[in-house]
Amino acid sequence: MEKKKRILTGDRPTGNLHLGHYLGSLQNRVRLQDEYDTFVIIADVQALTTNFDRPEKLSQDVMNVALDNLSAGIDPEKATIFIQSYIPEIAELTVYFGMLVTVNTLRHNPTVKTEMQQYGYKDVTYGFLGYPVSQAADIAFCKADLVPVGEDQLPHLELARKIVRRFNDLYSPVLVEPQALLSNVPRLVGIDGNSKMGKSLENGIYLKDEAKVVKEKIFSAVTDPSRIKISDKGNPQICTVFTYHKSFNQAEAVNIQEMCRAGSIGCVACKKNLAASLEMILEPIRERRRYYEERPEEVHEIIRRGTERTRSVAGETMEEIRAAMRINYSCIDSGKK
């Protein structure tokens, strides 16, 4: 039997996942878990880059992200969920990869730059500046072929590819060059019309939000501000609600666009319609969440098993890496039994 290709992707545990994550990456990882040997990383070390001063926050968020993935439809019988900090090989590989990247390359990473602005950092820690290197190690240790991600992760994928190529050229071709997989809607705007739905921007609809909350959020969303009466002709191109129709209600989006332009559907009816469409996606997710929330032991066991399997994969790759880099000293190892 031919070996399945691998996927590795995942999230920083810094809060709950929202529709932007769903569209950008979750949906793809769920869709592809039959076809690919799928690894889902809970990147708690990466989350420390901005939370190193409140580590107590992490343990709750690690569980939240595991629940979000399982609720979204990740099947623990098919996919492997693991915690980054439990794989010491990733830390080791990060150190080796650190030799293959210059500080200037990291400084020019557009996502790192945007995040520095967002967090108001004038200077950064070595750990923050270097997290894309650690992310390259996340991807390389399991020889992932494909990495489903949102658009903001593309610079990190580019770096991972560069590091892998450099490694393979310098030492020996052990590692696999990963491909990014974007969704057809790589970036979802926030309900406030802000360019990106973000955990820190308080403009998101979360997978765990109850139906009532989702409805309230949709009703507060920004539409075409020049539209006062129903009969006013609307401009869907500048309406946040319409961008959501395009992403979550594709079957009706064209029709709604026409009606809005003609002034024959009001914003209230349009928002109600969107809320109903979103429920078709969100209710099954909530149902799975209820199942797992009632069974925390099962969730712990899923993570335990996933982490164990991941360690064994990481151990194997690490042996190849050390051999390629000639940092396995046979004269010393021979005494080992």
- Nearest CB to ligand TRP, comparing residues 11 and 209: 11
For the CB of residue 139, give the shortest distance to ligand TRP in the complex, in Å: 5
Q: How far apart are CA 152 and CA 156, in angstroms?
A: 8
Q: How far apart are CA 316 and CA 105, in angstroms?
A: 30
Q: Does position 64 bind ligand TRP by CB under 6 A?
A: no
- Report residue 172 as tokens: 């020996």
Residue range at the interface with ligand TRP (CB under 6 A); choices 6-14, 71-79, 226-234, 270-278: 6-14
Q: Buried b vs exposed e over 117-141: b needs ≥16 C-beta within 10 Å?
A: eeeeeeebeeebbbbbbbbbbbbbb
Q: How far apart are CA 286 and CA 178, in angstroms?
A: 32
- Nearest CB to ligand TRP, comparing residues 43 and 67: 43
Which residue among 7, 17, 30, 43 contacts ligand TRP (CB under 6 A)? Answer: 43
Q: How far apart are CA 67 and CA 60, in angstroms?
A: 11
Q: Which of residues 107-146 bind ligand TRP (CB under 6 A)?
A: 135, 138-139
- Nearest CB to ligand TRP, comparing residues 25 and 273: 25
Q: Does position 44 bind ligand TRP by CB under 6 A?
A: no
Paired residues of 298 in beta bridges: none
Residue range at the interface with ligand TRP (CB under 6 A); choices 10-18, 65-73, 167-175, 329-337: 10-18
DSSP string, 262-310: HT-S-HHHHHHHHHHHHHHHHHHHHHHHHHHHT-HHHHHHHHHHHHHHH
Q: Does position 197 bind ligand TRP by CB under 6 A?
A: no
Which residue among 147, 182, 253, 275 contacts ligand TRP (CB under 6 A)? Answer: 147
What's the chain's length in residues? 337
Q: Does position 182 bind ligand TRP by CB under 6 A?
A: no
Read off the amino acid at residue 193. G
Q: How far apart are CA 52 and CA 124, in angstroms?
A: 13
Residue range at the interface with ligand TRP (CB under 6 A); choices 8-16, 86-94, 250-258, 322-330: 8-16
Residues near ligand TRP, by CB under 6 A: 8-12, 41, 43, 46, 135, 138-139, 147, 149, 153
